[in-house]
Structure 1
Amino acid sequence: MSAKGALVKLVVEAGKAAPAPPVGPALGSKGVKAIDFCKEFNARTAHYEPGVPIPCLIKIKPDRTFQFEIKSPVTSWLIMKAAGVTQGAGKSSEPVGSISLKHVWEIAKIKSKDDRHKGVPMQAIVGSVISTAAAVGVTVVP
């Protein structure tokens, strides 16, 4: 591994991190023991419903130690959960479900807690959630 360290981005299901793909190969190639990450990740995501896809940013230092940041669940998953569907549309013109503006607002509140959205106006986050809903085939009704 280089002397600079590395940055690894993964989406792992809450409570289901295992040294199997995708976690094992992604971390093993950087010289990190995947089992150490998995134990800590599973402990920190124990409060989530099992199977929730959680984005994770792992910073690996040159000495092979690591720190990771857990972000809020994936927006499309939150939208599909609110709509009560298990899969998005094959084409965004084919609606698979609908959510209310209240659902959009609640999802935007969850997403606004991420560091990535610090300083971003709530109106912009709501717009992003509505755009994501359209992309997965979920309509937003007033």
Structure 2
Amino acid sequence: MPPKKTAHQVTMELPAGEAPVAELGKMLGMTGVNLVALKKEYDSATAAQRGEIVPAVITIFEDRSFALKLKTPPTSFLIKQAVNGDRTISRDQLRSIAQRKLPDLNTTDIEAAMRTIEGTARSMGVRVG
């Protein structure tokens, strides 16, 4: 069987376990994909991460079927979660975020990942201590 041809590919940041159909409809309505099936698949795949934002790469094929690839939450979201109103993040929290983001980063070195996360934190006005 030949591989399916891709018609559209969209990356969306959606709340885990509760993707809003209206938002899916705005971005994917013109593709003719089954939005209810897409929402159910996303919600069940991210149910354990409720309260977080989980980006998804949604690939729509010409036959209107779809593939869903989940990514890790945005770095800024994880930093905001870690500081919890404070403006300082510890090295341990930084390492934890870097380990979680490692699959989506272009490095396999935890120290390089930590420097990347630290740069994002600084740009957000968060001190690393």
Same fold (TM > 0.5): yes
Report how many residues are paired: 125
Q: CA RMSD in A?
A: 1.6
Instruction: Please list, as runs of the form range in 1=range in 2, the aligned pairs for 1:1-142 lying within 5 A after superposition.
Output: 4-21=6-23, 23-48=24-49, 50-85=50-85, 97-112=87-102, 114=103, 116-117=104-105, 119-141=107-129
Take 2:122 and 2:128, find their aligned partners in 1: how far apart are those partners?
Answer: 8
Change in Cα spacing, 1:79 to 1:105, as seen in structure 2 (3 Å) is same
1:104 Cα deviation after fit: 0.5
1:118 Cα deviation after fit: 6.0
1:119 Cα deviation after fit: 4.7
TM-score of the superposed pair, with normalisation by structure 2: 0.88
- Identity among equivalent positions (%) equals 31
Contact 2:6 2:60 in 1 (8 A): no
Deviation per CA, 1:5-44, whole angstroms, max 9, x where unpaired? 11111000111212112x1111112221211111111101
Deviation per CA, 1:76-115, whole angstroms, max 9, x where unpaired? 1111111012xxxxxxxxxx51011111101000011x2x
Take 1:34 and 1:100, find their aligned partners in 2: how far apart are those partners?
Answer: 41
- Structure 1: 5+ residue stretches without partners: 86-95
TM-score of the superposed pair, with normalisation by structure 1: 0.81
Contact 1:18 1:35 in 2 (8 A): no
The structure with the greater share of residues assigned to helix is 2
Take 1:71 and 1:57, find their aligned partners in 2: how far apart are those partners?
Answer: 8
Contact 2:60 2:66 in 1 (8 A): yes
Extract structure 1 runs of 4+ deviating beyond 4 A. Answer: none
- Structure 2: 5+ residue stretches without partners: none
Contact 1:55 1:73 in 2 (8 A): yes
